[in-house]
Amino acid sequence: MKNLSNKFSYIAISVIMGAIIISFVLTGFQGFGNNPNEVASVGGTTISASEYNQMLNMQLSRYSEMMGGKSLTNQQIKQMKIRESVLQGLIQQKHMLNFASKLGFGASQKHIKEDIKNSKFFQTGDKFDVNRYKGLLQANNISPADYEEDVAKQIKSEKLQELITSIQDSRTLSKDLIQLQKAEVKVAVLTFNKESMTEFLPLSKKEVQNFINDTKNETLLKSLHETYAAQIKAANAQAQAQKSKAKPQKIKNFTSMKYELAKQHLQRTKREELKKFNTKLTQQLEEAFKAGNYSSIKNLAQKYNLNFESHYQMQIINPSFQGTKFNEEEFYSVLKNKNTQKVLKTDNPTMVGFMKLKTFEQNEVSEKGLAQALKASTSNNAQYIQNNILKFMSQNTKVVTSPNLFL
């Protein structure tokens, strides 16, 4: 169902992504200079040592809590590549921040002040306390200017996030998708491999024997026997690896297999006869499906070892049977109209397949289920866009890190 949802969302997502990418103008990288407090630069935006250490300590604290208060050793930190993970997370944050800047997202002084005043950390009795604000910043060795700059960055990031999460599937679409997902679909379905029908092509014993008696065919027959033996060995090895309880297949000697190998080879050379055989069989099956003559279909399936199920529970997304896929749009049209008369057919160079709807039952969608589906689709769309932004930025932005960071 996720694949189908992605198809409906793709156009809307692509439009926004296209607009975003076009608006991006790449800027060059400015080096570290002589500032020892910078651990990395992402397209000219720095990652400070204090910022990196703060995130690293937070991550180490999480691991410590998971381990019952026990701190990680330096060796464990290296093995788990925690420092590298923290830096990568900060780099991604800077990529998103830079992208927001390139889109023209900013933060006015009024917006910054409102954000600070509304912060619970700086309030006393539900009102902004300027003394508490200055005191907390001073206690953490942060200047008001630096804090306001961080707030501005956060506002820009939030604006970008609002844009990313603005893609939503319609309620009608989501409801239809859920109904399809929960629906029970039973079909009559049959498939067969065209090449496998060679074994049913008529061949006289005299024709086979004449081929065997011709000494120039001896080398070919021996080669076919070697191939046959290799296939048996491979099948036995696979069964042994899977710890199958079935007895290993025995390899028949060349003399006892000569007639069968010659027959199979001659049948495979009859390409025109195979084509006519498959055409006739396909016509017989199509007529039987249209008439709903499932006893005739069953007889043909048994006679020619065809894959057939009279009441198969078909999956709605990527409808297929025994590796043979059916046209999705035709299948959805049949389901939409609950058409139990139409026969779906697939005919490609290697496979033939037929399918006919038997039953289609749908369940009502609850408001709770619909709300959950909308929330999930919005999250998936947002993740898709963010991943593409990060991919684009990482490919088009110079990132320089301190060479001694992980020593």
Domain co-membership, 51 together with 139 = yes
* Integer angstrom CA distances of residue 128 from 249, 266, 305: 83, 92, 81
Distance, CA of 63 to CA of 71 (rounded, Å): 8
Percent of the chain with pLDDT over 70: 90
Helix axis angle, 218-241 to 254-269, nearest 10°: 100
Secondary-structure percent of the chain, ordered helix, strand, coil, rounded to 5: 60, 15, 25
- Kindly state whether residues 251 and 309 are assigned to the same domain: no
Please check whether residue 80 lies inside any domain of the structure: yes
Give me the residues of the chain with pLDDT under 50, please.
1-34
Q: Is 179 within the bounds of a domain? A: no
Residues 149 and 53 occupy one common structural domain: yes
**Domain for residue 177, yes or no?**
no
* Nearest residue to 360 via CA among 191, 179, 172, 177: 179
- Phi/psi at 380 (5° precision): -65, -45
Residue 116 CA to residue 355 CA, distance in Å, equals 64
Question: Does residue 116 lie in a domain region?
Answer: yes
Residues 10 and 68 in one domain: yes
Tell me which long-range contacts 324-330 makes (C-beta under 8 A, separation of at least 24).
324/191, 324/351, 324/353, 326/353, 326/355
- 240 and 262 fall within a common domain: yes
Give the β-pairing of 351-361 and 399-401. Answer: unpaired
Count of domains in the chain?
3
Residue range(s) defining the domain that contains residue 215:
202-269
pLDDT value, residue 35: 60
| 32-75 residue pLDDT tens | 444 667 899 999 999 988 889 989 999 999 988 988 888 889 89
- The verdict on 150 and 27 lying in the same domain is yes
**DSSP-assigned beta bridge partners for residue 351:** 193
Domain match, 29 and 99 both: yes
Q: Per the domain annotation, does 234 fall within a domain? A: yes
**Shared-domain flag, residues 299 and 260:** no
Separation of CA 295 from chain center = 40
* Res 94: pLDDT: 94
Asked if residue 131 and residue 30 are part of one domain, the reply reads yes
Measured in Å, how far apart are the chain's first and last C-alpha atoms? 47
Task: Write down the pLDDT at residue 36.
Answer: 63
pTM greater than the 0.85 cutoff: no
Residue type, 77: I
| Assigned domain for 53 exists | yes
261, HSE (Cβ side, Cα atoms, 13 Å): 21
Please tell me whether residues 10 and 66 are part of one structural domain.
yes
- Residue 362, pLDDT score: 77
Helix locations, 165-253, DSSP H = 171-182, 205-213, 218-241
pLDDT, residue 166, reads: 85
Residue where a domain stops, chosen among 210, 241, 269:
269
Question: Tokens 């975003």 correspond to what residue?
Answer: 20
Q: With left for phi above 0 and alpha for psi between -120 and 50, is residue 193 left, alpha or beta? A: beta
Selection from 318, 320, 291 nearest residue 307 by Cα: 320
User: Alpha-carbon distance 218 to 225, whole Å?
Assistant: 11
Is the domain of 10 the same as that of 158? yes
Q: The tokens 């409906």 sit on which residue?
A: 8
**What does the pLDDT read at residue 11?**
39
